[in-house]
Amino acid sequence: MSELNADNRSPGETIHSVRISWTNIRVSTKTQKSMYNCFQTKKLPKEIIRNVSGSVNAGSLLAIMGASGAGKTTLLNVLTTRNLRQLSVNGVVLMNGQTVSQQTIASMSSYIQQHDLFQPMLTVREHLMFQVLLTMDRNLSNNEKQDCIQRVIDKRNVRKQGLETKIILKAFPAEK
C-alpha cells in the first residue's frame, strides 16, 4: 500500500491508499420457508442487484445513484460487509487487488445512513461523540475518542462553518 500525505493526521498516524473494486456482484433475498394456514410455502428469492461491477480509488468521490429500491444501500452493505444475513451475495470485492476478511473491511469502512441517524437535539460535536461511543473500540481512552472527534471537526471545517455548537436540526435543515 502506498502512503498518503495528509495534513490532518495525528503524529505517527500512517494513512494508506486503498483501491476497492467489485466485480459481478449479485444479491438476492434467501429462500424462506414459512407455515401459513397449515400449508408450507416457500418465499422465492428476489433479485436485488444483478452483475454490478465498479471500482473507486482512495481520495476519490463516488456517487451511487438510482431510483428508490434500485439497490444502492444494498451495494454499500455488500462493499462494507454489513447487514447481509438475510441475503445471498455472489461476486468479488477486492482491496488493492486482494481479497480481505469481512472483519478487515468492516473495521476500515463505514457510511452515513440516509435517514434517522441524527439525534435532532444534539450539537454536531455531541452527535459525533454519540457515534464514537457506539462504533469505536471500547478500550480507547476518552482522550483518544475526543482526539478522533476533533480531527473530524477540523478536517471537515465544522468550526469554520460555525456548525460545531449548533443543534443538528439547525445545522442541517430538512430538504423541501
CA-closest candidate to residue 97, choices 176, 22, 172, 13: 22
- Assess whether 122 and 85 both reside in one domain: no
pLDDT by residue for the chain (176 residues), tens only, comes to: 334 334 444 555 555 688 999 999 999 998 776 555 555 667 788 999 999 999 999 878 888 888 888 999 899 999 988 888 889 999 999 999 999 888 888 777 776 665 555 566 777 788 888 888 877 788 888 899 889 888 888 887 777 666 666 665 544 445 44
Q: How does pLDDT run across 84-110, given as a tens digit for each residue?
A: 888 999 999 999 999 988 888 877 777
As a whole number of angstroms, the distance between CA 104 and CA 40 comes to: 40
Q: Is 58 left (phi over 0), alpha (psi -120 to 50) or beta?
A: beta
Q: Which three cell numbers stand for residue 154?
A: 477540523
Domain that holds residue 134: 112-176
- Assess whether 80 and 135 both reside in one domain: no
CA-closest candidate to residue 168, choices 119, 129, 116, 134: 119
Residue 54 CA to its chain's centroid (Å):
17
Number of domains in the chain: 2
pLDDT in the model for residue 1 = 39
What radius of gyration, in Å, describes the C-alpha atoms of the chain? 20
- Assess whether 106 and 31 both reside in one domain: yes
Q: Which of 110, 126, 153 is a domain's end point? A: 110
Q: How many residues does the chain have?
A: 176
As a whole number of angstroms, the distance between CA 140 and CA 70 comes to: 38
